[in-house]
Structure 1
């Protein structure tokens, strides 16, 4: 009997403790309101309207926070953005006289959400929106602001690189609800308030556009497109690409001015060629491989590379002529082309010079003895040819030291003239190539500037 009394007393004390604990931590109005609202809410799949013919109005707004990456080679855009959705839910209303609460925060998975998606999304770990609490107001208005990382396709137009402006669309729409069941509109657009600029791109504007697309028997579906207008900041590319390329173009012309005797014309031309090809490859890696819109700057690089190749070819040709064997005669057609003295005139001049050298006085007039031919000179051990009226007859005669020196001087003079003629031809060809390259460089620069200004 006493044992039963103790058991009853213990149960009574436990119940008293539980009731006292519950009374000391009462639930607030938020809990009571949430419990009351969602006790009758039911499934989150049906649209939040009492009449099935009622259209749900959804307002979308976009705030671009940062341009994470615009991959021009892959033609993709990655941005950080805040997406705001506003709609009315008829099953989430309350009387403010009973619950004086301005709003409550509810996880979006508890309520119906608009079926809106980003078209052309290429993110492998795609997630429509982050699971951020929604704000619910007494009249049933739902505000849902969610931060997102959006990655989509952006077709690049590289024509004006690096002074280009790109337009990248972000298209949102519903996969399930047509316009009769859910209408999507844009009431206001808030951008720039939280935008953090990058060192490459500047966000000039965000243009919104609403369109209704007919998908046949599925009906008309509204689509909202936000077009991001991105302007490239060209200072980086001017200092790292444009200015070095201009300097290399000047070096192309200096290759023709460099003396052939230095032996560095070909090596300088090859170095310039490799540098230009390297810069062209750098630009190609930055831009998409497309044949529709070719960058205008390519119209500048192509002739510069051609001129660099031309400088190497001309350097080889000029070097061959410059170092030509002086004993080899110059062809008549080459003499006529460069207006050089013909070989016949040169032979006559050399002949007269040798006669004067043998006479021992280059400035004196020929004597009668010299006009009829050379008399036999028996001083010295040398031999000469006696010339009379164009006939050459070998005579073994002895020459004195003065006559020997005259003959050697005349022979050296002839060889020196032959060598100068080959070098003169090489220098003239080098000057012609310089003029052609200069005109081609100026033309390429002018055409590139005109194309930039007219596009």
Structure 2
């Protein structure tokens, strides 16, 4: 049975390729000599009137996706395929299953990366082999480190998703001579891809654009790839410190109104925010098309820090007023409103101390008769005095002092600073996370 199977296989191969020959270098050498005869083949002549060229990108590793410089650097190679009917063989050369030639020997589509940030050039190095198959199929695998321009959107940084494209075109050939199309299946292959620590691959797709070059239409194929940032590093090193500094700044209003270190405390936090604003600005593109939500958040918190300094200076100033300085009616009304908004109880009059006399044990003051001694006398020993505190129960505005005004302002700012800061952080984080979850 085994012998019959081998004989059957030999008959199939014989019927398909004629006579089966073993590989011999002299056979391939003779094949190449016959194919590239100068009288029958010219490498400057395209194989047909319209050459269909299919392209596929095989990624190896993503080096960098920099939203500051708006560039993407990625290593990989292109799988470029087309058919050249002039380069087919069979019969005596059927033992040669494939052969390779250099770019200087055969016609190939002169592809150019039109959005390259380096020196614009055609993909050519003179040594990359081009594989040939008996059916006339040609396969070219140019290996490069591609550095291309990428229109980035930093709005949701560091929860951003970026889409970058590799745009290529058959240079000097119009669309009616060479048609560039994406290969079927995955146009961006991850078969040999090494994952990146900062960016996570999400999706890829291809598109074509028709542009006018030198008065003729040309097809540009764009292979786009979508990456989503891994935000853990930026959460720990950027987001959390900003939030902690934001909440720390509110405790300036928890200090005593006449504390000497209030201004130094708030200035230190302000400088820390200025440093973080500089760091974040160093990673965001200098463009006005899209504003980063994180930059807007830092700006708003910086404004709150500046406002805290102004309020603290004003509080220290009014706290130094003496009781002989009258409080304007407008200030009294505003203070009462601020106390109500910050859930502060009413103002009470300061305690007053008065002396009270009590009659002696006999229940009355003893007086000597004028007729007995000729003068009025009071028995001091029969009287006892003590000091009684009388607290004012009324809460009218006359009980207000400058210190009460300062403490009310501090309490109002303390309560509402945390409310406003919490709303700002919550709103910004929700917006950024929404964009991250929906791949905006």
Where in structure 2 are there 5+ consecutive unaligned residues?
A: 1-23, 337-345, 360-385, 387-399, 436-440
Q: How does 1:332-343 map to 2 (within 5 A)?
A: 332-333=328-329, 334=331, 338=335
Answer yes or no: is 1:144 the counterpart of 2:140: yes
Instruction: Say if 1:160 and 1:296, in contact at 8 Å, map to a contact too.
Output: yes
* CA distance 1:27–1:61, change in 2 (3 Å): closer
**Deviation for aligned residue 1:117:** 1.4
User: Which string of whole-angstrom CA distances, capped at 9 and with x for unpartnered residues, describes residues 111-147 of structure 1?
Assistant: 1110221112121375524431111112222111121
Q: TM-score, normalised by structure 2?
A: 0.74
Match of 1:320 among 317, 321, 329: 317
Quote the Cα distance in structure 1 between the aligned partners of 2:114 and 2:120: 15
Partner of 1:400: none
Partner of 2:86: 91
Superposition CA RMSD, Å = 3.0
Partner of 2:46: 47
User: Which string of whole-angstrom CA distances, capped at 9 and with x for unpartnered residues, describes residues 271-296 of structure 1?
Assistant: 11111121122111111112221112
Task: Please list every run of at least 4 consecutive aligned residues from structure 1 whose deviation after the TM superposition is greater than 6 angstroms.
Answer: 339-342
Answer yes or no: is 1:363 the counterpart of 2:356: yes
Partner of 2:256: 259
Instruction: Say if 1:210 and 1:224, in contact at 8 Å, map to a contact too.
Output: yes
Partner of 1:77: 72
Q: How does 1:24-423 map to 2 (within 5 A)?
A: 28-40=26-38, 42-49=41-48, 54-98=49-93, 100-124=95-119, 126=121, 128-130=123-125, 131-188=127-184, 189=187, 191-211=189-209, 213=210, 215=212, 218-322=215-319, 324=320, 326=322, 328-333=324-329, 334=331, 338=335, 362-364=355-357, 421-423=401-403
* CA distance 1:246–1:98, change in 2 (3 Å): closer
**Deviation for aligned residue 1:327:** 6.8
Partner of 1:439: 419
Quote the Cα distance in structure 2 between the aligned partners of 1:29 and 1:80: 37
**Deviation for aligned residue 1:175:** 2.5
* CA distance 1:145–1:281, change in 2 (3 Å): same
Instruction: Say if 1:303 and 1:440, in contact at 8 Å, map to a contact too.
Output: no
**Which of structures 1 and 2 has the larger relative contact order (alpha carbons within 8 angstroms, sep 6+)?**
2
Q: TM-score, normalised by structure 1?
A: 0.71
* CA distance 1:129–1:81, change in 2 (3 Å): farther
Instruction: Say if 2:323 and 2:402, in contact at 8 Å, map to a contact too.
Output: no
Instruction: Say if 1:129 and 1:147, in contact at 8 Å, map to a contact too.
Output: no
Quote the Cα distance in structure 1 between the aligned partners of 2:323 and 2:98: 105
